Structure 1
């Protein structure tokens, strides 16, 4: 009798939990799922596959209206020129020391330059629009030397040796599409976005950037493999296909991010 009563209580508790999940707003559900998935999160942490799948499922079902967005908002109006890309708007939704949630709003031709995500697992959901994405992963610490192409002004500063990286993705992405995931050492940890149409990208970073903890956002210029020569060691010729060199650079002056108030459903912290 006691065992049956305990089973009934567990079943009732499970039903109450499922009912509550159904009543949550999509944004609150995202927050609570992130809180569970990144509960033990720290730099370099990769959630187990079942948690990756669970969080991807929540993001896959997220729609622009769930976060109070539509393509006719002023964030998405083209205001740049052929020489200077338009500003990008960032909507901050939530941040703690375990994870952050935010949305990048890009007008047509808006660019988020090539940058890294040190020690992070990142979920990116394109809410609407089309963009081009190019991403890289490090191949190895391959020493290099500049060849005849060292007249590039970009090679002068800052003084960091280029590192060999392999292209992970170089393609267009159009909503609706599946949520992409990048990892600390795989999945395209360094990436850049160029908006082909007005578009909005929701990012979950686990953990978020932190200067205090050494997780700085580093920007890069990318160069074709032939730009430099280097000792590729045990790497075979076929492994060099799709490779390029990434060299650290300062944040581009043309990259302007404007903060704006998030006006979608609010998150209630647990």
Structure 2
């Protein structure tokens, strides 16, 4: 804790997240007004993080273009910071059964979000569903999804919120320079509890497919679950900001 009994903003955020996600199964992320208000205040300076230029890179010793600063983790939530070099991408991935809150600290990111709809139908049904024929043998890894859109966020933007049902899949791109964002996931990733990260590739538009329960302006896509892309990996570096006690 900081000296002088002054509670840091990051400590306030962690304490409020602990309250908000005490029972994550009953949490509605949009109702966490106090947590969202604190998240809107957080800046790179609060975490002792300075905007940076792209580091020099050697072809013989490549370095990741995305790194992660771990701040804290409990069974209910995790907090950390992602740092992206200019042009870096966190590929399309999911957060199964998890809520998420993302707040840009510096730079600008583009976030493209999807919702899973359902898996590919059986082959007998597929004749009228425009299923890509070459993917029928991989139907366990093929999903229909609704494209929710692409939104640009900067440090002046409010947080990006995701839920287990809404905008749970997204791709994040650094735009016009390096960027960093503060990240809360509730509960954290835990492969032993069914919360592992999966990656996806967008295959094609589904012509003529409109769900009755979705706005007609939404576009549907086929998503193929893939291994983690070979050209993406996330490095780690120490978090330099105020300590958090929970």
Q: Is the 8 A contact 2:105 2:182 kept in 1?
A: yes
Give 2:238's match in structure 1, choosing from 261, 266, 270.
261
Residue 249 of structure 1: how far off its partner (Å): 0.4
- Distance in 1, Cα, partners of 2:40 & 2:169: 22
- Are 1:57 and 2:37 matched, yes or no? yes
Residue 71 of structure 1: how far off its partner (Å): 1.0
- Distance in 2, Cα, partners of 1:171 & 1:259: 27
Which runs of structure 2 are paired with 1:38-77 in the superposition (5 Å)? 38-42=21-25, 45-47=26-28, 49-50=30-31, 52-72=32-52, 76-77=54-55
Name the residue aligned to 2:196.
216
- Which gives a bigger RCO, structure 1 or 2 (Cα 8 Å, sep 6+)? 2
CA deviations on 1:205-244 (whole Å, 9 max, x unpaired) are: 0100101111111110112214xx79x5964997374211
Which runs of structure 2 are paired with 1:91-170 in the superposition (5 Å)? 91-141=69-119, 143=121, 144=126, 146-147=131-132, 150=134, 160-170=140-150
State the structure with more CA Rg: 1
- Distance in 1, Cα, partners of 2:213 & 2:104: 36
Give 2:174's match in structure 1, choosing from 177, 180, 195.
195
Name the residue aligned to 1:250.
227
Q: Is the 8 A contact 1:220 1:247 kept in 2?
A: yes
Matched position secondary structure for 2:216: helix
Residue 68 of structure 1: how far off its partner (Å): 1.2
Q: Is the 8 A contact 1:38 1:47 kept in 2?
A: no
Q: Is the 8 A contact 1:134 1:171 kept in 2?
A: yes
CA gap of 1:79–1:156, structure 2 versus 1, over 3 A, is farther
Residue 171 of structure 1: how far off its partner (Å): 3.1
- Are 1:36 and 2:19 matched, yes or no? yes
Residue 23 of structure 1: how far off its partner (Å): 3.1
- Distance in 2, Cα, partners of 1:266 & 1:133: 29
- Are 1:87 and 2:65 matched, yes or no? yes
CA gap of 1:207–1:129, structure 2 versus 1, over 3 A, is same
* Cα RMSD (Å): 3.0
Number of residues of Structure 1 aligned to a counterpart in Structure 2: 232
Alignment TM-score, normalising by the size of structure 1: 0.76
Q: Is the 8 A contact 2:119 2:139 kept in 1?
A: no
CA gap of 1:70–1:138, structure 2 versus 1, over 3 A, is same
Structure 2 residue runs without a partner (length 5+): none
- Distance in 1, Cα, partners of 2:137 & 2:63: 22
CA gap of 1:135–1:49, structure 2 versus 1, over 3 A, is closer
